[in-house]
Chain A
Amino acid sequence: MTQTKLEQVVRRITAPLVDEPGALLPVLHALQDHFGHIPTAAVATVAQLLSLSRAEVHGVISFYDWFQSEPGGDTTVYICRAEACRAMGGAAVETAAKQHLGIDFHQCSRDGRISLQPIYCLGNCACSPSVMVDEQLFSRVTSDKIIEILDAIAGGNS
């Protein structure tokens, strides 16, 4: 996408939200929903439309784990690291996923299919360990089950 084209898209997405009180988070969510991440080239346009400095916009993007500056995998797998999941073997699920994909958290599998993200609580703590694939939640995930889930995504039938 050319810079001009990108700017047009960013303007189209941002414009309806400009008058929202405290519009920056809704704008960034909308951009990430559209692009899958927040392109660095969009920062200047967002800053201009919201009368903010580029530093302010960048500072907000970098503060929140939810916002990604780089393109990630087609699918994001979130593995809960919090206490209720650890009480049921969540740490082993985390290790199994990393080993199976050969990557660490905040990285993307080599085929570009899967991004692996840590998450701190999915609110499913009575049926832990929990994993979320994009917006789909999984309960009572074991080391074996996470590999099945990852293979299903890689096989394209998630």
Chain B
Amino acid sequence: MNGRVYVPCDSTAASLGADAIALALQKLHPEFEIIRNGSRGLCWLEPLLEIDSPDGRLGFGNVNAQEIATLFADGMPTRAHSRCLGPVEDLPYLRAQQRLTTARIGVIRPCSLDDYRAQGGFAGLAIARRLSGAEIVSTVVDSGLRGRGGAAFPTGIKWQTVREAPGNKKYIVCNADEGDSGTYVDRLIMECDPFVLIEGCVIAGLAVGADEGFIYCRAEYPLALKTLQRAIELARDAGYLEDFTLRVRKAAGAYICGEETALLESLEGRRGQIRFRPPLPALEGLFGKPTVVNNVVSLASIPGIFAQGAARYQSVGSGRSRGTLTVQLAGNIKRGGLVEVPFGLTLRQLLEDFGGGTASGRPIKAVQAGGPLGAYIPPALFDTPLDYEAFKGIGAMLGHGGLVVFDDSTDLGQMARFAMEFCAVESCGKCTPCRIGSVRGVEVIDKIHRGEQPDDNRILLRDLCQTMIDGSLCALGGMAPYPVLSIMEHFPDEL
């Protein structure tokens, strides 16, 4: 063997030519062993090739297939090569992170059980198997983990509710309908470390007494769907799913199905319209049975909590936000990628120290945090720490951890219109404030932009927003006004 080359296989790397690179390498250097690892989430460097060295895996960023011949002209390039970034794990972007949940992504081959086990995989499950359901639940409670999908509800308490709910049949449902723009960590986990999600689902099943689970994954993620299917087959063949049936279900392009009750409707084969609450899904969820519905990151955090101890996870964080948040830098950002850090860092640290400012080189005008229902935050508030309560304090939310950056050329009045338009497109139609309010919202914003009685229409728009917030059945209609109101408050010249 004449050395290994690691060529990432996730969708982002593939979209930037990684598959062509792997083919070119194989043709030019059949003596090389080509490893298709996942992506480390350093998206701005993709395709990020790595080669083995005594100092660790050396990185070569933004490689394209055409330069493979020159890069490998003398066999394996050395650390002295002008394109070499040095050991990947020494890159400041990675060194400054604390990867607890995403420790393995990019390091291993996604569907290799050997790689997974060599990096501590299934250690958490082995520990959980020695505990009672109640002990598993209390470990999760002690970790302080809160739902990473956006609602930030304590995961352990949710599990406890399902565990104590009467009934023999219970379900685990993984919400992998990652529809928020600016978020992609669920995709990275599913494409690059699928076994961690499977392990988390099995532990959840042991905790609450469920023997069946579903991963509801977006149709927009074809590679994640394939990777999960393959990983489940491998885990089943290796005996990890003997007491737990796990299925992947392909969603069908409705944003609202990220809302847990709409997701359950969809899994049951119906239109993804939301359900009234109560009853809570924890008591009457899938097919009317007690159901844990957790996001991908929440479930993927579980194995590490057991392998390293709840105290370890709980020991980092800020205030009531414990552990790490998987931040995703997106949009107009120079160094976009996955940043897993303890709660408490400021927005500025993320945008500047990690992100390096905008990709366009222009000043940042605003950051939308927490997806399409999140507020637009002005630079004056960039010293806000990453913390669920601190974000709430400035009228924003962390949600699923996506930060979409906009430069000063952005017309935020148009982004406010888009927030209402998106709500109109994606509304499930069940409640009037959302279904009709969003359409009226677009119309009123258009009137303001055309200069038709702008002051009166601004009053009307605020009133409409308040009606949607107070009267909508779920977060789609209830939060779509937040981006609009935040733009009116922080950028009054734009709307």
Contacts and interface: CB of A to CB of B under 8 A. Distances in A.
A41 interface: no
B46 A127 contact: yes
A66 B257 CA distance: 13
Interface string A41-79: 000000000100000100110011111000000000010
A60 B270 CA distance: 6
Given A22-B268, A127-B46, A139 B252 contact: no
B184 interface: yes
Contact of B252 (A64, A87, A137, A138): A64
A66 B219 contact: yes
A125 B252 contact: no
Interface core residue of B178, B218, B219, B267 (most chain A CB under 10 Å): B219
A153 interface: no
B330 A128 contact: yes
Contacts of B319: none
A26 to B, nearest CB: 7
Interface string B379-411: 000000000000000000000001011110010
Interface core residue of A29, A64, A87 (most chain B CB under 10 Å): A87
A60 B220 contact: no
B399 to A, nearest CB: 12
Contact of A126 (B178, B253, B272, B328): B328
B415 A123 contact: no
Interface core residue of B14, B15, B272, B337 (most chain A CB under 10 Å): B15
Interface string A123-142: 11111101010011111100
Contacts of B405: 87
A24 interface: yes
B146 interface: no
Interface in A101-135: 119-128, 130, 132, 135
Interface in A11-39: 21-26, 28-29
A126 B252 contact: no
Interface string B245-260: 0000111111100000
A127 B43 contact: yes
A130 B11 CA distance: 11
A82 to B, nearest CB: 3
B269 A25 contact: yes
Contact of B15 (A22, A87, A138): A138
Nearest to A87: B331
A115 B236 CA distance: 39
A135 B328 CA distance: 23
Contacts of B89: none
B268 A120 contact: no
B118 to A, nearest CB: 28
Contact of B181 (A25, A83, A127, A140): A83
Contacts of A25: 249-252, 266-267, 269
A84 B330 contact: yes
Given A123-B11, A126-B328, A85 B16 contact: no
Contact of A125 (B181, B220, B359): B181
B252 A123 contact: no
Given A29-B252, A122-B220, A123-B183, A137 B11 contact: yes
Nearest to A83: B181
A96 interface: no
Nearest to A24: B269
A66 to B, nearest CB: 4
Given A64-B252, A64-B254, A86 B272 contact: no
Given A87-B405, A119-B220, A139 B181 contact: no
Closest 10 CB pairs of A and B: A126-B336, A24-B269, A82-B181, A87-B331, A125-B330, A126-B43, A64-B252, A66-B253, A66-B252, A137-B15
22 contacts: A21-B267, A22-B267, A25-B250, A25-B269, A26-B250, A29-B219, A63-B254, A66-B253, A83-B331, A87-B406, A88-B359, A120-B255, A120-B372, A120-B426, A121-B220, A123-B186, A125-B184, A125-B404, A126-B337, A127-B15, A127-B43, A139-B16
Given A65-B254, A123-B178, A123-B221, 13 more contacts: A25-B252, A65-B253, A67-B252, A83-B404, A84-B402, A87-B331, A120-B179, A123-B218, A124-B15, A127-B12, A130-B15, A138-B15, A139-B12
